[in-house]
Amino acid sequence: MTVAIPALTRPKTHLAVLVVLGLSHLLNDLMQSLIPAAYPILKDAYALDFVQIGMITMTFQIAGSLLQPAIGMVTDKHPAPYSPVVGMMFTLSGLVSLAFANSYAMILVSVALIGIGSSIFHPEATRMARYAAGGRQGLAQGLFQVGGQAGGALGPVFAAVIIVPWGQPSLAWFAALALLAMVLLAWIGGKQREISAAFMALRAEGKKAGGGIRHAPATIGAALVVLTLLMFTKNAYGESFRSFYTFYLMERFGLSIPSAQMMLFIFLLASAAGALIGGIIGDRIGRYRIIWISVLGPLPLTLMLPHVDLFWTGVLTVMINLIMASAFASILIYAIELLPHRIGLIGGLFYGLNFGLGGIAAALLGILADSYGVETVYYVCSFLPLAGLLAWFLPKIEEVHH
């Protein structure tokens, strides 16, 4: 169980830092989202099949996952407040490389560089969000997540407005966003020492007051296994939209590329709203309840989705993602409360899982789409929220809420 910290001992919530962190996350994920948003163009230009599309996603996601836990472990022992700036340099180089790639192999190298940049960005940014939160962890992670989700949502819009009419080389124009993100992250790095000192002082005070609760290794292990399985099914469903939703809309309803990209934007915008709402509500009713609602709640909607017309497809996809996206902030905070001294590791592990599991799912779904058609992907994925029943095995570690 967690112990409530008296209001007088809580450090203030550094809202300006959280907002800038969210904006940096927006820029980071916007640049990442240009990859799947450009898939229709790359598919036509290089005559790619769905398996190759899935392999691009897998390459990007795995590159963005393998380094994250390792970087998190290192920064737990040796905090590196300016490491996200270095990560953004990798993202910039990958984006420019992708703009001028002239082969499938070069596309894979380019997206791997962008993935590596993300793997360096997330662990330390997660730590800073934790430190700057004060007693409002859900709000902090919600703001951080809404930035990332909003950035992901903007990718299809920029693809429709810029990349489709101007072509693959226009990806290089977005290097300016990487430079802006580097400036913002450098400012955040300069603030970290002061904010982390206040956070550490509070944690020391909590230990003296008996608030340093440690969980049994079996409890921690069981929780992390369940959270990993929930994350996999959540991301498998999410990747069916990020990688194949535009193709589904074009194939089933005859939409143009720009129209399908705008539908994807609306879907991803709902994800941004869900992340923020889930974080805020989680501060009030607890992470455990939010996880239950978000992983099992979408099931009736996902089962209906493959059988409805275009209008209801739009409505249901917004509702599904609004509910599903509310989970991530609570899952992350739940895991950090299990291992409060390993913020970098948990941040790297769960963002890494987000990337790696999503990449594996994308590759599998690409094979399914090539073999049985893209509509079949959505029939199969409609049953994935059933895995939310695994939350039954999640230890209930939280009873007192801030």
pLDDT tens digit sequence for 117-160: 988 898 888 888 888 887 777 788 888 888 887 887 787 788 77
Question: Picking from 15-19, 149-153, 303-307, which range would have the lowest pLDDT averaged per residue?
Answer: 149-153
Residue with tokens 């939310």: 388
Residue 7, pLDDT score: 44
Q: Are 41 and 164 in contact (CB under 8 A)?
A: yes
The band of 401, judged by pLDDT with boundaries at 50, 70 and 90, is very low
Q: Are 81 and 192 in contact (CB under 8 A)?
A: yes
* Alpha helix stretches (DSSP H) within 78-136: 83-99, 104-132
Highest CATH level, class, for 10-393: mainly alpha
Query: Quick check: 115 pLDDT over 80?
Result: yes
320-337 average pLDDT score: 83
Sequence ranges of the domains in the chain: 10-393
Most confident of 25-29, 201-205, 320-324: 25-29
Distances (CA, A) of 7 to 1, 242, 279: 18, 41, 19
Residue 6, pLDDT score: 44
CA proximity to 382, closest of 194, 248, 213, 215: 248
Coil, helix or strand at residue 196 = helix
pTM over 0.85: no
In this structure, what token pair is assigned to residue 302?
């996902």
Residue 208, pLDDT score: 53
**Alpha-carbon distance 144 to 19, whole Å?**
8
Q: Are 358 and 307 in contact (CB under 8 A)?
A: no
Residue with tokens 């700057």: 132
Backbone phi, then psi, for 302, in 5-degree steps?
Answer: -65, -35
Give percent of the chain with pLDDT exceeding 70.
90
Residue 199, pLDDT score: 65
- In the chain, the amino acid numbered 287 is R
Question: Picking from 125-139, 182-196, 297-311, 378-392, which range would have the lowest pLDDT averaged per residue?
Answer: 125-139
pLDDT tens digit sequence for 187-236: 998 887 777 766 666 665 555 544 555 667 877 888 888 888 888 888 78
DSSP per-residue string spanning 310-349: HHHHHHHHHHHHHHHTTHHHHHHHHHHHHSTT-HHHHHHH
Identify the residue with better confidence: 244 or 353: 244
**Alpha-carbon distance 325 to 331, whole Å?**
11
**Alpha-carbon distance 148 to 347, whole Å?**
14
Backbone phi, then psi, for 60, in 5-degree steps?
Answer: -60, -45
Residue 178, pLDDT score: 92
Residue 110, pLDDT score: 94
394-401 average pLDDT score: 58
Q: How many CA atoms lie within 13 A of 380 on its CB side?
A: 18
pLDDT tens digit sequence for 338-347: 887 788 888 7
CA atoms 132, 137, 139, 145: torsion sign: positive
Residue 400, pLDDT score: 39
The band of 395, judged by pLDDT with boundaries at 50, 70 and 90, is confident
Identify the residue with better confidence: 358 or 107: 107
**Alpha-carbon distance 180 to 184, whole Å?**
6
94-109 average pLDDT score: 92
CA proximity to 87, closest of 125, 62, 65, 119: 119
**Alpha-carbon distance 31 to 174, whole Å?**
7
* Alpha helix stretches (DSSP H) within 254-326: 257-285, 287-296, 299-304, 310-324
Distances (CA, A) of 249 to 108, 195, 237, 264: 26, 47, 16, 9
In this structure, what token pair is assigned to residue 135?
């007693």
